[in-house]
Structure 1
Amino acid sequence: MRTGKGGLLTAAVTVVCAVTVLAAPGTAFANPTPTPSPSASTSAGTPATTAELEAVRKKLAGLYRAAAVATEEYNAAEEKAKKQSAEIIRLAKKIVKGKARLEELEDRAGAAAAAQYRGGGLPPEAHLMLSDDPQEFLDGAGRARQGQHAAKGLLAEMTRTQEDLEQYAKDAEGQWRKLEAGRKAKAKAQKKIEKQIKAAEKLEATLEEEERERLARLEEEAAEQAQSAWLSSGILDDIKGEATAQGRKAIAYATAQIGKPYQWGAEGPKAYDCSGLTSQAWLSAGTGIPRTSQEQWKQLKRVDIRDMRPGDLIIYFDDASHVGMYVGDGAVVHAPRPGRTVTIAGAGSMPILGVVRPDAG
């Protein structure tokens, strides 16, 4: 049996198989086809075979894909929390304003009651009998009727204001419950992310420096093969769209971030995750788009890949868990995964789900 870091590959890959199965329930991401674990019968000190490294590459891809899915879950929960917090603040302001209005109405009602008391509280008929001037009484009766209508209106407004306050309080309580649920969802997603990344880092740590270099070359070769297969279809001959003014601004922002590290949940300016990069790039161009790749896929206008133009977003994998920005010439700028930096890659180097357009209008 092999010893040393290289000799840990067999055991590490077996452990990673189990970790991958424990990825988030209910999430649909394309796991690589299972590959048999490398043989444990190689001699001590022998470098990992290409087959062993290929198995590691596939397992790492699965782990980072699971982390990407969890990252978008985290981002979605974060986005909801921001909206719910803003709604709670808005309702709190309404409650404060409503209470002030109710106090004002109560003061007015109290003043009206005091005026009636000072008048003896007598009915109009009694005032008519006591009045020496019938015309004066009639004028006063008219004013009294107006006062009665005003009092009824005052009471009705007080009732409405009180009902509004009660509803605002119920709404705020509901938003607070959702906010708490969102915080739990964020914490759960964070644990998933950290678990997958830790497993991936542990697996990579079993490799010697030379093996890590070979693994990087295998990753590049797999991406190049996928890109070549995509280009061999002749698709690039059909893509002739030109970027809009906004699209050029978004591309300029995104490409200016090249070299900055990937960090899950990050929206810049020092680091980004995949949808953090695309959403901030388009925000810089004057167009706000959804925060997560799934919501970008759901909410933005979809276009045929042959009608794609620079600035459009390419959504990847069946679960829409990754996104990159098309920059032209068959390439995208994207934030790949933990341990990598924002970079240019082949647009067909990953399985394409579809294309969406932020500036469809």
Structure 2
Amino acid sequence: MGPGKRSAYVAVTVVCAVTVLATAGTAFASPTPPPAPSSTSPTPSSTSSAPSTPVPNKDLEAVREKLDTLYHEAAVATDSYNAAEEKAQQQSAAIVDLANKIVQGQKKLDELKKRAGAAAAAQYRNGGLPDEAHLLLSDNPQQFLDGAGRVLQGQRATRGLIAEMTQTQQDLEQYAADASTQWKRLEANRKAKDAARKKIKARIAAAEKLESKLAKEEKRRLAELEEEAAYQAQTSWLSSGILDEINGKASAQGKKAVSFATAQMGKPYEWGAEGPKTYDCSGLTSQAWLSAGDPIPRTSQEQWRQLKHIDVKDMRPGDLIIYFDDASHVGMYIGDGAIVHAPRPGRTVTIAGAGSMPILGVVRPDA
């Protein structure tokens, strides 16, 4: 079977994933080299006036590297877009909550003012005479003393009423200030989201333009170069014997997350998408874990920052592998040295070698 032992948890819960993984054992645990890229173009048809000049492999390799750079930059911008979108949603909710507090606070203040007005009117009707005068004018001293007690209670209640009015007014002022702050942050995140959107579209457009210049045969050879690069990276990763150490069993939630993620195979990548028809990389992983009953951060960078870090040798199906130094890509480990992920624009959710990209680290959503 090649380096490493086959993980016991390969039979993920959906038939499609089982089928893919059954044939993927050699692809990921002991990869078979892809066919060597062709160095010549196919023989031109008899109707061609002159044979086309094939693009040298070194030039195609430069194209591949350029495409990798453009799509990587688009992925970074997508993470920025998703983060700004998530924050904007949170701030919109906070503004609505503060608005409700302001409405309720104003109602409370109006009621307190009515009570204060009633207390002032009662005092006015009482003539505003001092206690000594009421004692001298009273025919029943005991009745006066009883009334004085009630007056004292009323005075204390009035002082409490004034204090409550003051606090409510301060609360209203604070709510208004908080709402203003949240609004400014919302506007800032909207601008950040727009800037990220423009960058994403520009990078994807540049990549598509670059690919559009290639002939059909050159695109085929370019695809072979991409497969070769992924194969070499996966082989290097496996050559360390890492699969001999990875034998973790999926948790109940991890199985659910894997089942959800593998059920999305074949669906197109779309930046900023989190299903149900299209996904970006972190949209897939966040929705998979949400379906398992354990919500996680929306972006790959926040998943890396907030979730518990796990040694690669300790990972188990359902764990998330974060890629590249800037944590701009994420895939879900499903066992046998493989991941399921949403790769990039123009691709669909698929299974790939866990070591086919530079690994930053592993995180566990249900640690």
Normalised by the length of structure 2, the TM-score is 0.85
Question: Does the residue aligned with 1:263 lie in a helix, a strand or coil?
Answer: coil
In structure 2, what is the equivalent of residue 25 of structure 1?
Answer: none
Task: Output aligned runs, 1:45-194, within 5 Å.
Answer: 45-194=52-201
Letter in 2 for 1:236: L
In structure 1, what is the equivalent of residue 216 of structure 2?
Answer: 209
Structure 1 residue 344, shift from structure 2 partner:
0.2
Question: Does the residue aligned with 1:270 lie in a helix, a strand or coil?
Answer: coil
Aligned counterparts of 1:166 and 1:327: Cα–Cα separation in 2:
53
Q: Which has the higher contact order (CA 8 A, sep 6+)?
A: 2
Aligned counterparts of 1:198 and 1:123: Cα–Cα separation in 2:
85
Question: Does the residue aligned with 1:337 lie in a helix, a strand or coil?
Answer: coil
Task: State yes or no: 1:198 paired with 2:205.
Answer: yes
Task: State yes or no: 1:237 paired with 2:253.
Answer: no
Structure 1 residue 61, shift from structure 2 partner:
0.4
Aligned counterparts of 2:103 and 2:137: Cα–Cα separation in 1:
47
Aligned counterparts of 2:245 and 2:269: Cα–Cα separation in 1:
32
Aligned counterparts of 1:147 and 1:51: Cα–Cα separation in 2:
92
Aligned counterparts of 2:249 and 2:79: Cα–Cα separation in 1:
30
Structure 1 residue 44, shift from structure 2 partner:
7.8
Aligned counterparts of 2:96 and 2:243: Cα–Cα separation in 1:
50
Question: Does the residue aligned with 2:327 lie in a helix, a strand or coil?
Answer: coil
Question: Does the residue aligned with 1:354 lie in a helix, a strand or coil?
Answer: strand
Structure 1 residue 119, shift from structure 2 partner:
1.5
Aligned counterparts of 1:195 and 1:106: Cα–Cα separation in 2:
58
Aligned counterparts of 1:123 and 1:44: Cα–Cα separation in 2:
115
Moved more, 56-65 or 89-98: 89-98
The 4+ residue runs of structure 1 with deviation greater than 2 A are none
Aligned counterparts of 2:127 and 2:99: Cα–Cα separation in 1:
42
Letter in 2 for 1:269: P
Question: Does the residue aligned with 2:147 lie in a helix, a strand or coil?
Answer: helix
Letter in 1 for 2:155: Q
Unaligned runs of 5+ in 1: 1-42
Aligned counterparts of 1:60 and 1:146: Cα–Cα separation in 2:
80
In structure 2, what is the equivalent of residue 293 of structure 1?
Answer: 300
Aligned counterparts of 2:64 and 2:320: Cα–Cα separation in 1:
26
Normalised by the length of structure 1, the TM-score is 0.87
Question: Does the residue aligned with 1:323 lie in a helix, a strand or coil?
Answer: strand
Aligned counterparts of 1:138 and 1:242: Cα–Cα separation in 2:
81
Percentage identity across paired residues of the two chains: 74
Letter in 1 for 2:307: L
* Residue 277 (structure 2) aligned to one of 270, 275, 278: 270
Structure 1 residue 126, shift from structure 2 partner:
1.6
Aligned counterparts of 2:72 and 2:262: Cα–Cα separation in 1:
23
* Residue 333 (structure 1) aligned to one of 329, 333, 340: 340
Aligned counterparts of 1:199 and 1:260: Cα–Cα separation in 2:
23
Letter in 2 for 1:248: K
In structure 2, what is the equivalent of residue 317 of structure 1?
Answer: 324
Structure 1 residue 243, shift from structure 2 partner:
0.3
Question: Does the residue aligned with 2:360 lie in a helix, a strand or coil?
Answer: strand
Kindly tell me the number of residue pairs found equivalent between the two proteins: 318
Moved more, 118-127 or 227-236: 118-127
Letter in 1 for 2:348: T
In structure 2, what is the equivalent of residue 15 of structure 1?
Answer: none
Moved more, 44-53 or 85-94: 44-53
Letter in 2 for 1:91: L
Question: Does the residue aligned with 2:85 lie in a helix, a strand or coil?
Answer: helix
Letter in 1 for 2:198: K
Question: Does the residue aligned with 1:340 lie in a helix, a strand or coil?
Answer: coil
Aligned counterparts of 1:89 and 1:213: Cα–Cα separation in 2:
53
Question: Does the residue aligned with 1:314 lie in a helix, a strand or coil?
Answer: strand
Task: State yes or no: 1:354 paired with 2:361.
Answer: yes
Aligned counterparts of 2:64 and 2:248: Cα–Cα separation in 1:
35
Letter in 2 for 1:124: D
Aligned counterparts of 1:209 and 1:170: Cα–Cα separation in 2:
60
For the aligned residue pairs, the C-alpha RMSD in angstroms reads: 1.0
Q: For 1:242-293, what per-residue CA distance to the aligned partner results, in whole angstroms no more than 9, with x for missing partners?
A: 1000000000000000000101110100100000000000000000111111
Question: Does the residue aligned with 1:243 lie in a helix, a strand or coil?
Answer: coil
In structure 1, what is the equivalent of residue 28 of structure 2?
Answer: none
